[in-house]
Amino acid sequence: MTAKPTRAYTVTGQDWTDLADDIREHHDERIVVNMGPQHPSTHGVLRLILELEGESVIKAQAGIGYLHTGIEKNLEYRTWTQGTTFVTRMDYLSPFFNEQAYVMGVERLLDIEDQIPEKAQVMRVLLMELNRISSHLVCIATGGMEIGALTVMTIGFRERELVLDLFELITGLRMNHAFIRPGGVAQDLPDGALKEIKDFVKLFRTRLPEYAALCNANPIFKGRLEGIGHLDLEGCLALGLTGPILRSTGYAWDLRKTQPYSGYEDYDFDVITWDTADSYGRFRVRLAEMEESLRIVEQCVRRLERLDGAPVMVADKKIAWPSQLSVGTDGLGNSLDHIRHIMGESMEALIHHFKLVTEGFQVPAGQVYSAVESPRGELGAHVVSDGGNKPYRVHFRDPSFTNLQATSVMSEGGMVADVIVAIASIDPVMGGVDR
């Protein structure tokens, strides 16, 4: 039997009784509602097409593509180092993870993975774990705001500002850093950075329990999250879901442990899991993961204290960019010593600097896949070289794109209000989806 087609209604401000009368006249029991793409739940320009029967969701689909940037295609027209300036803008809540996944692929093709200075690797881990904290804070803060827990939102963004201050101190920017480069990182830690990081860890340790006190046993908060957006382990594996969604089913899959990179095997931390496979479990996983990130940050600080003055870029001057660049004392530009050297002391240094910046370096032909454990799950980069100074192809496996597949199964059968909670528990960032 052919199913009766569902009528779609566009609500444009007319009297609701006119719409209700039309629905009654055609004996329709279902209505299709477009939620978005104008920031429906602060997670970006995501469109949700909901087929409703009353307030129950019968069918849910995610519409993407409203934030398309063409970053992957643009990479084919830039040198390998310039690529970091593009990839850092994809998932804008976790820029360092974008940079790390891409740079690991370039370094594997160059066969210089073993040549990356220890200090550079420790700095990468430090920045990624601080980034994990800032990203989880946004997820918890916006998720709280969407269900009316405004205090959770305000304190979440309060703490995130402290992390962004550290990013600005270390890289010069709050986001879109392009700081992790092939061969190492752009520059050394500035004076006083380790003290600022220590002070943040000490302060955040006192404030982290506030989230637990406000939410963990709060009957209203738990009532909105428990049992909502349920997806078990079998469903996660079938859809290829990773990150807190997967770990909320009790499966301890974390690339930092299962496929270590950047020396993660030498750090002491636990993989957080939960056993409810719902929105509440994902919240608890993210909350506990911030504590584990603090543990890793403390270990990074101790290592960096003994690596004072150590190099942060490979010794090969044909790859290292910037090779001897440091920020001036005013924090606004290149150091005068570096400028004096390339502009007034050595013609060879000037020529080398010019060619390295304009032409870049060539990468041996081949293809690799490199992956990191981002705040949302497995973030992978498929990097292909044809032997030239620009990527032949770079394609990312962004966890937000993959995890959004769960929209339907998490929302259908629930209420309209629960759709917002389910989407918030997925924590999609549309910059990573529409790249």
Q: Examine residue 411 and state whether it is found in any structural domain, yes or no.
A: yes
Asked if 394 contacts 72 with a C-beta cutoff of 8 angstroms, the reply is: yes
Asked if 130 contacts 295 with a C-beta cutoff of 8 angstroms, the reply is: no
User: Which has the closest alpha carbon to 384: 374, 402, 370?
Assistant: 370
Contacts of 258 (CB under 8 A, 6+ apart): none
Q: Examine residue 298 and state whether it is found in any structural domain, yes or no.
A: yes
pTM, two decimals, is 0.87
Structure tokens that stand for 386 in this block: 């044809």
- What is the rounded distance in angstroms from the CA atom of residue 232 to the CA atom of residue 234? 6
pLDDT tens, position by position, 69-100: 899 999 999 999 889 999 999 988 999 999 99
Q: Examine residue 7 and state whether it is found in any structural domain, yes or no.
A: no
pLDDT (0 to 100) of residue 306: 92
Structure tokens that stand for 204 in this block: 């955040």
Question: Which 3-state string (H, E, C) describes the chain?
Answer: CCCCCCCECCCCCCCHHHHHHHHHHCCCCCEEEEECCCCCCCCCCCEEEEEEECCEEEEEEEECCCCCCCHHHHHHHCCCCCHHHHHCCCCCCCHHHHHHHHHHHHHHHHCCHHHCCHHHHHHHHHHHHHHHHHHHHHHHHHHHHHCCCHHHHHHHHHHHHHHHHHHHHHHCCCCCCCCEECCEECCCCCCCHHHHHHHHHHHHHHHHHHHHHHHHCCHHHHHHHCCCCCCCHHHHHHHCCCCHHHHCCCCCCCHHHHCCCCCHHHCCCCCCCCCCCCHHHHHHHHHHHHHHHHHHHHHHHHHHHCCCCCCCECCCCCCCCCCCCCECCCCCCECHHHHHHHHHHCHHHHHHHHHHHHCCCCCCCEEEEEEEEECCEEEEEEEEECCCCCCCEEEEECHHHHHHHHHHHHHCCCEHHHHHHHHHHHCCCHHHHCC
Residues of the chain falling short of pLDDT 50 = 1, 40-41, 323, 330-332
Contacts of 341 (CB under 8 A, 6+ apart): 324, 349
pLDDT (0 to 100) of residue 54: 79
pLDDT tens, position by position, 190-227: 889 999 999 999 999 999 988 888 878 888 888 888 88
Q: Examine residue 262 and state whether it is found in any structural domain, yes or no.
A: yes
User: Which has the closest alpha carbon to 314: 106, 168, 131, 169?
Assistant: 106
pLDDT (0 to 100) of residue 338: 67
Structure tokens that stand for 284 in this block: 């608890």
Q: Examine residue 394 and state whether it is found in any structural domain, yes or no.
A: yes
Q: Examine residue 396 and state whether it is found in any structural domain, yes or no.
A: yes
CA torsion sign for 400, 130, 158, 140 is: positive
pLDDT (0 to 100) of residue 19: 66
Distances (CA, A) of 281 to 76, 199, 272, 384: 40, 30, 11, 38
Count of structural domains within the chain: 1
76-80 — which CB contacts under 8 Å span 24+ positions? Answer: 76/390, 76/391, 76/392, 76/393, 76/394, 77/390, 78/390, 78/391, 79/359, 79/360, 79/361, 79/389, 79/390, 80/106, 80/182, 80/360, 80/361, 80/363, 80/389, 80/390, 80/391
Q: Examine residue 20 and state whether it is found in any structural domain, yes or no.
A: no
Query: Which residue matches tokens 């497995």?
Result: 378
pLDDT (0 to 100) of residue 9: 61
pLDDT (0 to 100) of residue 129: 96
pLDDT (0 to 100) of residue 126: 96
pLDDT (0 to 100) of residue 61: 87
pLDDT (0 to 100) of residue 195: 94
Can you give the CATH number for the domain in which 263 is found? 1.10.645.10
On the CB side of 165, how many CA atoms lie within 13 Å of its CA? 11
Q: Examine residue 259 and state whether it is found in any structural domain, yes or no.
A: yes
Domain enclosing residue 375, as ranges: 71-321+360-425
